[in-house]
Amino acid sequence: MRFTCAVIVALSATAVSAAVLFDKSQVPFATNELRLVQTDVGTVQWITETDKIQLKRAGKKFMDITDTAGEGDYKLEFNVTIPTNTSLSDQVTPLLANISIANMKANLEKFSSFYTRYYKSTTGAESSDWLFETVKTVAAVNPSIKVFQFHHSWPQSSLIARIPGIKTGSAEDRTVVVGAHQDSINLIFPNFFGAPGADDDGSGTVTILETFRALVENGFKPNNTVEFHWYSAEEGGLLGSQAVFSEYAKRQIKVGAMLQQDMTGYVKKTVDAGQPESLGVITDFVHPELTEFIKRVIDSYASIPYVETECGYACSDHASAQKVGYPSAFVIESEFKNSNPFIHSTRDTLDRLSFDHMAEHAKLTLGFVYELGFADLN
């Protein structure tokens, strides 16, 4: 389907009319509901849910701030010291061999088999429940790990797995967060057409799940609290991650570092362009020192290099962390122009992905978590 600049021109706060077909198994899609959307720093407008879909079709990124418009009142300011290099290779390197491509493939086969993981749908809620039970099963080997659902006003919950730090309890605690979003969307009609979302962001979901498993099953007990997050409703304008990080800011939880993994498995455009397979390190709208540290982690623990790239304002859930004052960064599967062209459709399927490439993202994630889990971030 081709979209032109006329799509943007058609957007307005009063544009409401659209005939939408519904899958009766899904939650109704309120096309006329007005939402407050931010499309750039300081640029906000009231538009309808239908207009939000039009924005996404046109490739325009945004945050839906309707429910968190006052979160700036809770923005935290605190000191964070990010390491300049890695220092725990003797401990990290042996763990990398525990990353299982077979596990990631099995989990992604199941996760992408749900008809859609659209956050307002019943199957979106069912996929979230499956993920919740899967994460709990992994965590069961360590009773101190807490896995819980972060509920929203829509059916699909966000998920959090918390590995408590040995030094937890000080006012100077710093929490390390790794995130991915679990929802998917079909931009033709979200409530009617399927959205397997194998790459966006099923790949990131199972990448951090496999990192979590590799750490937990090998007795990982960090000094700093480490959390794995699976956000709902990223495709709706970063709704789930905004809710989570706004709540954290209100509770004065100091997140010292946050890494987002959104799309970790597609390499064909890179290879076809004759370019080396690499990890795409986002350099715009991110924390610069944390991003530089991530490059060092890739150098130390990944088998492929990184390439610097940009993705624009509010391009994934790291933006929600940054918005309330948390240092955040984002690594994607390639240079942004070579990322998966099949997302947001029925063609975002598992057969288009490289699990070897996803394993490189898992290595990065494991190194990131382990290094910062023991770093003095104060």
Tell me the catalytic residues.
Answer: 181, 200, 234-235, 262, 344
Q: What is the β-pairing status of strands 175-181 and 255-261?
A: parallel
CA gap 192, 202 in Å, rounded: 20
Question: Could you tell me if 312 and 285 are in contact, meaning their C-beta atoms sit under 8 angstroms apart?
Answer: yes
Among candidate residues 114, 113, 317, the one with its CA nearest the CA of residue 208: 317
Which pairs with CB-CB distance under 8 Å and at least 24 residues apart come from 40-43?
Answer: 40/313, 41/313
The sheet with strand 306-309 has its strands ordered as 146-150, 158-163, 226-231, 175-181, 255-261, 328-332, 279-282, 306-309
Question: Could you tell me if 177 and 227 are in contact, meaning their C-beta atoms sit under 8 angstroms apart?
Answer: yes
CA gap 267, 278 in Å, rounded: 9
Q: Output the DSSP codes for 225-293.
A: -EEEEEES-GGGTSHHHHHHHHHHHHTT--EEEEEEE------HHHHHTTPPP-EEEE-SSS-HHHHHH
